[in-house]
Amino acid sequence: MNLTQLELNNLSVAKDVGKAFGLLAGIASDLLPTPVILLIGSVEGLIGYGTQWLVVSERIRPLPYWQMCIFLCLGGNSTTWMNTAVLVTCIRNFRRNRGPVSGILKGYVGLSTAIFTDVCNALFSNDPSSFLLMLALVPFAVCLNAIFFLREVPPSATASEEKEESRYFTIFNTVAVVISIYLLGYEFVPSPSRVFSLAFAVILLVLLASPLAVPVYAFIRTWSSQKNESGLDVEGQIDEPLLKQEETQQQEGEVVAVAPQTTEEVPVLQEKKRRPVIGEEHTIFEAILTVDFWLLFLSFLCGVGTGLAVMNNMGQIGLALGYVDVSMFVSLTSIWGFFGRIISGTVSEYFIKKSGTPRPLCNAASQILMTVGYILMALALPGSLYIGSIVVGICYGVRLAVTVPTASELFGLKYYGLLYNILILNLPLGSFLFSGLLAGFLYDAEATPTPGGGNTCVGAHCYRLVFIIMAIACVIGFGLDVLLSIRTKDIYRKIHSSRRGRSRKSASPSNGQ
């Protein structure tokens, strides 16, 4: 399209600005039903990416530059509507498995770039216009189907139902890991043939669709159970609806992430009307007025902001350190970012159920590990970029997967859609601060002008100061996460006690009868 590099970079900024407008999706998610949120996102994506496809495929004349910025902004913003609809609904539906839910959903987001790119390469020989057409049509078609199935349902009411959910999430995790390894293996195949590429795409699509077997199995199991119970006496048929009604009333009156029913609960609920405490439902204004929110927000900025700086500049970092082919580092960051999301979501949930360990401690551990990664890359030792790209990928994934359920546990689920999108503002903000300003300014300061214009820098000194400053930022983030863990330890102790109490009640003989 005869654009300069600066103009291309500004188009990327327009896409990130679209994500910053995710606040609109957050506000709408608390006011509109889930199908409407999905429909808005899918139509917006169809228009944004569809117009880009028309331009790149030369079916229409190239649009003025400012109009292209608008359509890239629409494309970037469309994902916020889809992500908000899916994430908020699933967190509310599976509130006792928030870690695995967040890990799986964020994990697939991390894999989505590789999935779309590899499928396009396999089916369309990596044609840019075909890639844009896929981005326009595939999410639109998937969302149209999801409109009929994605909705809020009552969460699990017993320990047995919670265990059944956990087994299903184990299956989802296993399938996701298989897909990630399958994608990574394809990256190492040199010059695959057309037949091999088609076979790869077909198998990948089957793997992506395989988790649908879980809800089908659950439906058949429920249907068979209801059919077997149809022969119960009249008294049994009357008692069952009453039991369900009692369970529903308990769920509707449940305060997110609070202790089991105690005599102190009534005063707490009365106090909530005046000023909620951490662990109860907060409005957005009540949440942002707390110290805990800003501890979470700023520590999130330290983690994802520095991680984005590495990912956005990975190509330039590799070239500066003397690597000709930097695609391997990009793949390592992406794949290990997926493992960081999947593992941290499940592990943080396990330790909450086992000992009431505050979830922010997982973020604190990731900050320390990320600090070590930046120091290694600053030293520029042999192989340090391989280790650094893996470490940054893992820790970036941990931050995304752990922060999402943490916010819901501290501030509730009623206004979670908007709260989530406020936290996600750290992505464009962190990209601007650490990637655009810090890395860009310091690289230019170390670079030397080239005869054809522009500048270039080769050597470990190009990004050494950038890595040192980002390591310091991660140390600050570590301190913030530790402080947040100390301030919220009572909340997670109550969550732990509540789940243990539920397990004992479910295991008692009277409950079994």
Residue 455: in which H helix or E strand, if any? strand 455-456
Reference 135, options 252, 240, 51, 23; nearest CA is 51
Q: For residue 249, what pLDDT is reported?
A: 44
Which residues have CB under 8 Å from 100's CB, separation 6+?
A: 94, 166, 169, 172, 173, 345, 346, 349
Residue 241 lies in a domain: no
pLDDT at 375: 94
Q: Which one, of 339, 329, 333, 328, lies nearest residue 181 by Cα?
A: 339
pLDDT score for 261: 42
Q: Give domain status of residue 93, yes or no.
A: yes
Cβ proximity of 201 and 123 under 8 Å: yes
Q: What is the CATH number of the domain that holds 450?
A: 1.20.1250.20
pLDDT band of residue 208 (cuts 50, 70, 90) is: very high
Position 321 confidence tier, pLDDT thresholds 50, 70, 90: confident
Residue listed under structure tokens 């779309």:
116
- The percentage of residues in the chain with a pLDDT greater than 70, rounded to a whole number, is 86
Residue-wise pLDDT tens digits, 212-269: 999 899 888 888 877 776 655 444 444 444 444 444 444 444 444 444 443 344 444 4
Q: Are 308 and 428 in contact (CB under 8 A)?
A: no
Look up the pTM and report it: 0.75
Q: Which of 131-135, 196-200, 272-276 is least confident? A: 272-276
Domain assignment present for 507? no
Highest mean pLDDT pick, 91-95, 295-299, 337-341: 295-299
Percentage with pLDDT > 90 across the chain: 32
Domain, as residue range, for 61: 5-153+166-211+279-502
Residue 210's Cα: distance from chain center in Å? 21
- Environment class of 346 (CB within 10 Å of its CB; exposed 0-12, middle 13-18, buried 19+): buried
pLDDT of the residue at 5: 54
Residues 425-479: pLDDT tens digits?
Answer: 888 888 888 887 888 888 888 888 777 656 778 888 888 999 999 999 999 999 9
pLDDT tens digits for 22-74? 888 988 888 889 999 999 999 999 999 999 999 999 898 888 888 998 999 99
In a domain, 243, yes or no: no
Residue 106 placed within a domain: yes
Mean of all residue pLDDT scores within the chain: 82
Task: Tell me if 332 is assigned to some domain.
Answer: yes
Counting the structural domains of the chain, the total is 1
**CB within 8 Å of 399: residues ≥ 6 apart:** 300, 303, 304, 307, 363, 366
Question: Strand pairing partners for 455?
Answer: 449
Q: How far is Cα 170 from Cα 409, in angstroms, rounded to an integer?
A: 22
In a domain, 229, yes or no: no
